[in-house]
Structure 1
Amino acid sequence: MSTTMTAEQIASIAERTKRYTLFEWGTQDVDPFVVERGEGAHVFGADGTRYIDFNSVSVSVNIGHGDPRVADAIAAQLRKIEFASPYWATEVRAEVGEKLNALTPDGLEKAFFTLAGADANEAAIRTARLVTGRRKILVRRRSYHGATMGVLPLAGDPRRYAVEGGVGDIARIPDPYYYRRLVDGQSEQEFCEHVLAETEEIIQLEGPHTIAAVMVEPITGSNGLIVPPRGWLTGLRELCTRYGILLICDEVMSGVGRTGAWFAVDHEQVSPDIMTLAKGLTSSYVPLGAAMFSGPIAAAVQGVPLGSGLTYQSHPVGLAAAKATLEIYESDGLIENSAVMGDYLRAGLRELAARHPCVGDVRGAGLFNAIELVHDRETKVELFPLTGPQDPIVREVTRTMVNNGLLAALRGPWLMACPPLCVTPTTIDDALAALDKGLEVADRITSAAGAPPPPHTRHTYPAALEALR
C-alpha cells in the first residue's frame, strides 16, 4: 500500500540519509531523490509523483518494478531456508544452474554464483589466470567491469585512477567505436577489420604466451554504450582461439534480454570461454551474480582449488529471485518486447536527433541505447566531457527532464535510454516528449547557438583532498 509523505517527512529522510550514509563515486554534494515505490516502468517519489524510469535504475531492473511474482518467490524461499553454506546443495541452486546451462551459449556449462557483477568478473579473471598459468588480461580502452580492487583497474574509465597504481598485467586494446574512430571514406566493415588488425598487433607485441584472457563487454555499457560493427566479436573470438587465449565476455549490463536477445553475444552466435552476469539475472530485486565457465575450464578446476569463494556464494534467496525472474522473461515475452520496443525507441531518438543540434549519434540494441551529446557535429567535441568539472547546465538538463516526469542518466556526453523491458509505446512516447525538453536546454550551448567549444580540462583534486596529500 502506497502512502504520500509530507514535505517535512521527505526532507527529513533526505537529510538523515546524507548525515549518516555516504553516496558512491562523486562528492557528497548531492540532493537525493526520495523514492517510495515502483510499478512496471515507473517509480513514485515519496510525494506521490510518478516518473518514467528511463534507465531501469542502473540498467538492471529489466522486468520492471514491483512484480509480486518475484516478491512471492523470495518470501517462499525465506520460509524454506534463508541461507545455506556454499558447500551445501539446494534445490534452487540446482534449478538455476541447470537453467543457465540451457540459456547461455553452447559450451558454457557451469555457474559460479556471486553477489554482483564485480565479484563475478573477479572470479573470471582469477580462474583464467589459474587455468592458463598466465597473468596478463587485455581489456578495451573504454570499459567498466566493477568497483573492487581486482577489477576496477581494468576499466577504461576515470574511476580507476584511485586504485590502478601498482596493479600490473593489464594491456589495452582499441575500441570498435565507429562513431569516433572511423577514417573518412572507411566503411563500417573496413573499420571493423582495421580494429581487429590493431588488436592482433597488440596481442603479438604483448606476447600471446603471457596473456590469460581478453575481457570485453560485447557492448560497452556505462562508458558510452559502444555498439561494435557486426563481425567484431566474431573476429575477436577467432583471434583468441588462434593464439590460445581465453575470451571473457562481461554481460553484466548487456545480458538477460537487454539487447533484444538473451545475451549480446547471441547476435553473432559467439560462445566465450567465460561469461559473467548480474543485474538482469534477478532484475536487481536482490543481489546475485554469476560467472559461467566452459566445459574445458570446469574440467581444469575439477581437481584444483578454485581460488574464489564468498560467504554468500550461491545464496538461496538470490537464486530464488533469479529463478522467478528468468521465468518472467519467458512467460511475458520480454526478450521479444525488448527487440520490438528497442526499434520503436531508436526511431523516436533519431527523430529527436534530427531536430536537436546537440545530438551527435544515436546507437543501441534492443532496450540498451544512448545518445551522444556533442558541441559540434563536425568536430564531435563532447558537450559534457566525462572528466573535469561538471558543467552547471548538466544539472539543468537533468532537472528539466525530472520536472517533466523522466528519470534519465546523463553520464558525461552520454544520455542513456534503457527503460525496463516491459515498457510500452505509450510510455516511450511520454519519455521522448520529456527528453525533447531536456535536449532543448542542451542545445543552448552547442556551436549552433554560437558558443565556442568548451575546453577539455584535466581533473584537479578538491582543496580538502589536497590537504591530505
Structure 2
Amino acid sequence: MVHQLDDADLAALKDESARARELDRAHVFHSWSAQRLIDPPTIARAQGSMVIDGEGQQFLDFSSQLVNTNIGHQHPAVVAAIKDQADVLCTISPATVNAARSEAARLITERTPAGLDHVFFTNGGADANEHAIRMARLHTGRTKVLSRYRSYHGGTQTAVNVTGDPRRWENETGESGIVHFFGPFLYRSEFHATTEAEETERALQHLRRTIELEGPKTVAAIILESIPGTAGIMMPSPEYMQGVRALCDEFGIVLIADEVMAGFGRSGKWFAFEHFDIVPDLITFAKGVNSGYVPLGGVVINEAIYETFAERVYPGGLTYSGHPLACAAAVATINAMADEGMIEHAAHIGETIIGPRLRQIAENSKHVGEVRGTGAFWAIELVWDKESKEPLAPYGGGSSEVASVVAALKEHGVIPFNNYHRLHVVPPINISEEDLERGLGVFEKVLTDLDFSR
C-alpha cells in the first residue's frame, strides 16, 4: 500500500493535480483519442502495485499501465540506478561506448538463446519492430512481411501496417509488402476446429498456403507476438510455433519474435518464446526491460543477420539509441528481477493463484466465456452468453455494458486493462500474494454479479 497522506500532503497533492489537469486539458494532445471526448484520470503518485489519483484515492494497478511496469512502480533499486547514472553521464552519442549500454546488452543476451548475441537499442517497441523488419528485408533482399490478424506491433508507419487489429485501419496505406494471415485461436476458430490439435494443423496449413500463394522468394519475414498481448493473450500451442519456425527454415524466411509485451517475465519466463522451445532470428523487446521508467526498446540479432552488416553499413539509427539513463534502468531492472526471483514468482502466481481463481470466476459468471493465459498475463472474454460466445462489445469498439464493468472495478479500487470486450489481468510480476488476492476478489465480486439482458 502507498502510505496514507496527512491533511497537508493531501491538500498539496490535490492542488498539484488540479494544476496538472488544467494544463493537460489546455495543451496535451493524447494518443488514440478524440481529444474533446476524453476525461483522462490524473495519477499523482505510485508505489509498487498501487497508484494514487489526484484526489488521493488509491488503486491496485492490475493493468501495469500499458502492461509495461513489470516490476511495479518506483522500485527503489531502479530509481537509485537512474539517479546514480545521472550523476555520471546523462546522455551521449550512440556512436560512442558507454558502460550502461554495454552492461545492458550483456545482461539481455545472457538470457537469449546461443547465437543471439547482439543488441540494437531503440526508444521503444514500435521502432524496435520497424528496425527488425528493415533488417530482415535487407538481409534477405525480399520485401514482403507476413503477420497475423489479432496482433499489435506498434503505432509507427510500418509497425502499424503489420498490426492486425482495428488500429491499423485508419493508418493503413495499402502497402503491398504486408500480408496478414489467421493465427490459431480455438475459442474463436477461423478453421472450424474443435480441438487444439485441429486448430494447430489447420492454422499451419493456412500459413503454408499463404506463403506459397504470395511467393516464398518474396517473403522476408514473419513477425509474431510470441503470445499476442493487446489482441487477447491467445496462447498458441508449442506445435504451432515450432511449425512456424519450420516453415521459416524451409523457405528462408526470417522469424521475428515480438516480445515487447510478453517478454521480461510477463509470461513467467524471461521470454515468452521459451514456452514453445523455438529460437527466433530476431527478438524485439521494450516495456518490461526496464518497466518503462525511461523509454527503451531494442532488437536482439542472430549471427547470420549480424554478419550481413558486419562489413556493410546498416542504414538506420536513433539519436537516443542505448541512452545511458534508460540502459542504467534496464541493468537495475534485470538484476532486480533475477535477485528477487520475479520470473519464478510470476510463473508461481499464474499457476497457483491467477489461473485457478479466474477459472472459478468463469464457472460462476454467466458473462465470462473464457479465461486464458500464463504467468501474470491473462485475458477474460466477456460475452452475452456462453453458448453463442457473442462478445459483450463489438470487435474494434466498446459498449455500455463493458464500460459499466470497468467502472465497477475502479469503484472497488482496481484499475483493469480493457480492450473491446476483454479484461486483462496483468498486474506487476512481483505483486504480493496479498494484493493479488485482494484484486482478484474484486474481479470475482464484479464479474459473478453480472446479469445483462437485452
TM-score (ref. length: structure 2): 0.94
- The match for 2:107 is 99
- Larger deviation: 299-308 or 325-334? 299-308
Change (3 A) 1:325 1:20: same
Per-residue CA deviations over 1:93-142 (Å, capped at 9, x if unaligned) read 21111222211122211000000000110110001011111000000011
Between 1:301-310 and 1:274-283, the stretch displaced more is 301-310
Query: Shift in Å at residue 303 of structure 1?
Result: 1.4
Residue 305 (structure 2) pairs with residue 297 (structure 1) = yes
Amino acid at match of 1:4: L
Q: How far does the alpha carbon of each residue in 1:229-259 deviate from its partner, in whole angstroms, 9 at most, with x for none? A: 2311111111100111000000000000100
Provide closer, same or farther for how the CA distance between residues 208 and 182 of structure 1 changes in structure 2, counting only shifts above 3 A: closer
CA distance in 2, matches of 1:201, 1:114: 34
What's the offset of the Cα at 1:185?
7.0
1:410 to 418, 429, 434: 418
Q: Distance in 2 between matches of 1:257 and 1:59?
A: 11
Deviations 1:148-178 (A, max 9, x none): 1121011111111122124221111211111
2:156 matched to 1:154?
A: no
Q: What do the CA deviations read for 1:402-450 (whole angstroms, capped 9, x no partner)?
A: 1101000211011010000111222122112222343257x332xxx4x
Q: Does the aligned pair in 2 maintain the 1:400–1:437 contact within 8 Å?
A: no
Residue 384 (structure 2) pairs with residue 378 (structure 1): no
**Amino acid corresponding to residue 314 of structure 1 in structure 2:** G
Q: How many residues align?
A: 445
Instruction: Please report the RMSD computed on the Cα atoms of aligned residues, expressed in angstroms.
Output: 1.7
Deviation, 1:338, is 0.3
CA distance in 1, matches of 2:10, 2:142: 57
| Cα deviation 1:335-368 (Å, max 9, x = unaligned) | 0000011121111111111111110110001101
The Cα shift of 1:299 comes to 0.8
Are 1:423 and 2:423 counterparts?
no
Query: For residue 376 of structure 2, what is the aligned residue in structure 1?
Result: 367
d(CA) in 2 for partners of 1:183 and 1:147?
29
Q: Which moved more, 1:177-186 or 1:203-212?
A: 177-186
Which residue in the other structure is 1:457 paired with? none
Tell me if structure 2 keeps the 8 A contact 1:108–1:271: no
Instruction: State the secondary structure of the residue aligned to 2:238.
Output: coil
> Take 2:14 and 2:447, find their aligned partners in 1: how far apart are those partners?
30
Match of 1:276, SS state, is: strand
Letter in 2 for 1:127: M
* Of 4, 25, 38, the match for 2:10: 4
1:13 shift after superposition: 2.9
1:24 matched to 2:31? The reply is yes
Which of 107, 130, 142 pairs up with 1:122? 130
Aligned counterparts of 2:341 and 2:436: Cα–Cα separation in 1:
18
Tell me the secondary structure at the aligned position of residue 255 of structure 2: strand
Q: Which runs of no fewer than 5 residues in structure 2 stay unpaired?
A: none
Quote the Cα distance in structure 2 between the aligned partners of 1:309 and 1:126: 11
Alignment partners' CA distance in 2, 1:383 and 1:11:
35
Equivalent residue in structure 2 for 1:72, among 80, 99, 102: 80
Deviations 1:284-315 (A, max 9, x none): 11100010000110011111121211111111
Contact 1:107 1:271 in 2 (8 A): no
> Are 2:313 and 1:341 aligned?
no
Q: How does 1:142-291 map to 2 (within 5 A)?
A: 142-181=150-189, 186-291=194-299
Within 2, Cα distance between the matches of 1:234 and 1:13? Answer: 50
Q: Residues 194 and 183 of structure 1: is their aligned pair in 2 closer, same or farther, counting only changes over 3 Å?
A: closer
Distance 1:7 1:264 in 2: 41
Corresponding residue SS for 2:110? helix
Q: Are 1:324 and 2:324 an aligned pair?
A: no
Contact 1:178 1:229 (8 Å CA) reproduced: no
**In the alignment, is the contact (CA less than 8 A) between 1:401 and 1:437 conserved in 2?**
no
Change (3 A) 1:108 1:12: same
Post-superposition shift, 1:379? Answer: 1.6
- Separation in 2 of the partners of 1:184 and 1:250? 27
Shift in Å, 1:10: 3.9
Which stretch shifts more, 185-194 or 252-261? 185-194
